[in-house]
Amino acid sequence: MIRSQVIGLGSYLPDNVVTNADIAKRGVDTSDEWIQERTGIRERRIVRDGETTSHLAVEAAREALKDAAIDAGELDLIVVATTTPDETFPATATTVQARLGMHRGAAFDVQAVCSGFIYGLSVADNFIKAGQARTVLLIGAETMSRLLDWTDRTTCVLFGDGAGAMVLQAHDGEGTNADRGVLNTKLFSDGRLHDLLYVDGGPSSTRTTGHLRMQGKEVFRHAVTNICAAIEASAFEAGLTVADIDWFVPHQANQRILDGTARKLGIDPKKVISTVAVHGNTSSASVPLALHQAVKDGRIKPGDLVLLEAMGGGFTWGAGLVRW
């Protein structure tokens, strides 16, 4: 059986650190105490003028390609998960493709907001399993700061910018849970929940980019329920239980969502990778940023069972189980 193995990781954050106190100083009626207590966020990175999603994506991609010890020319496919593309078209993935010097294969974007990386993982895994690609570069990259209404304190304190990248490659497996690589992905969506989290603009509606709008309490409630369901579905399909999983790498939206999910499923909080304090919510970049951190610092080791999960606008949600 063909398995998609992770052969390289990379990440990139803009150098501009913005603390909670910095946001309060800019005239937003908020405080470090309120933000930390409700979200766990201390600081986030924000792009400077002229810095775009593709810039962040290319930097993360270069590091992942180096980690995988391959050239961009060996890639068959580039998938960029983003909700903040450089332009309405072409896809940011094709801009990344050109800047990496890859002139063959295909490149396209996946739009599933904060679940984008999990959706992209599923796309990449299925291309590999179907034999349509051998080596795939998957990137989650966002400049969420460009979508924020900086006069809306209920949303502008939550998000940050960044990118994470992963190189996946086809390798033979036995078809058991002991195989290295992606064991499964589970995707879900429910378009009826649009109004709880959306951007109030777009080319075919307002001809503007628009701003992020959210009903925070409702999102919170759905997040814990949906994420728990996705984790359980992924473990069940693999014939495992939640207790068999070594590391949980969740979408980094809010520390209280991470804690609530761990509590509901009886997960030891020490097994949950959290970077929300220093990254904020970087949407589709948050899972690969957190994953790379935990691999770099030696927590995630070869052979470990790693569960990636996310939920975001749409609503979309999902999980992916990977044997490291």
In the list 145, 281, 282, 316, the residue contacting ligand ACO (rule: CB under 6 A) is 281
In the list 105, 312, 314, 318, the residue contacting ligand ACO (rule: CB under 6 A) is 312
* Amino acid in the structure at residue 48: R
* Amino acid in the structure at residue 63: E
Nearest distance in Å: CB 79, ligand ACO: 20
Strand 135-143 to 247-250 pairing: unpaired
Should residue 219 be labelled a site residue for ligand ACO when binding is judged by CB under 6 A?
Answer: yes
Nearest distance in Å: CB 70, ligand ACO: 32
**Residue 228 bears catalytic tag:** no
Should residue 114 be labelled a site residue for ligand ACO when binding is judged by CB under 6 A?
Answer: yes
**Residue 281 bears catalytic tag:** yes
In the list 34, 150, 188, 198, the residue contacting ligand ACO (rule: CB under 6 A) is 34
Should residue 154 be labelled a site residue for ligand ACO when binding is judged by CB under 6 A?
Answer: yes
Contact of 114 with 313, CB cutoff 8 Å? yes
Should residue 30 be labelled a site residue for ligand ACO when binding is judged by CB under 6 A?
Answer: yes
Nearest-5° Cα angle at 110, 286 to 79: 85
**Residue 211 bears catalytic tag:** no
Q: Which of residues 58-87 bind ligand ACO (CB under 6 A)?
A: none
Number of residues that bind ligand ACO (CB under 6 A): 23
Binding mask 170-199 for ligand ACO (x = CB under 6 A): ---------------------------x--
Which is closer to ligand ACO, CB of 136 or CB of 258? 258
Residue with smallest beta-carbon separation from ligand ACO: 216
Which is closer to ligand ACO, CB of 173 or CB of 312? 312
Contact of 312 with 197, CB cutoff 8 Å? yes
How many Cβ atoms sit within 10 Å of the Cβ of residue 65?
Answer: 22
Catalytic residue among 55, 211, 251, 279: 251
Should residue 220 be labelled a site residue for ligand ACO when binding is judged by CB under 6 A?
Answer: yes
Backbone angles phi, psi at 246, to 5 degrees: -80, -40
**In which residue are the tokens 């984790």 written?**
231
Catalytic residues: 114, 251, 281
Residues that bind ligand ACO (CB under 6 A): 30, 34-35, 38-39, 114, 153-154, 157-158, 197, 214, 216-217, 219-220, 223, 251, 253-254, 281, 311-312
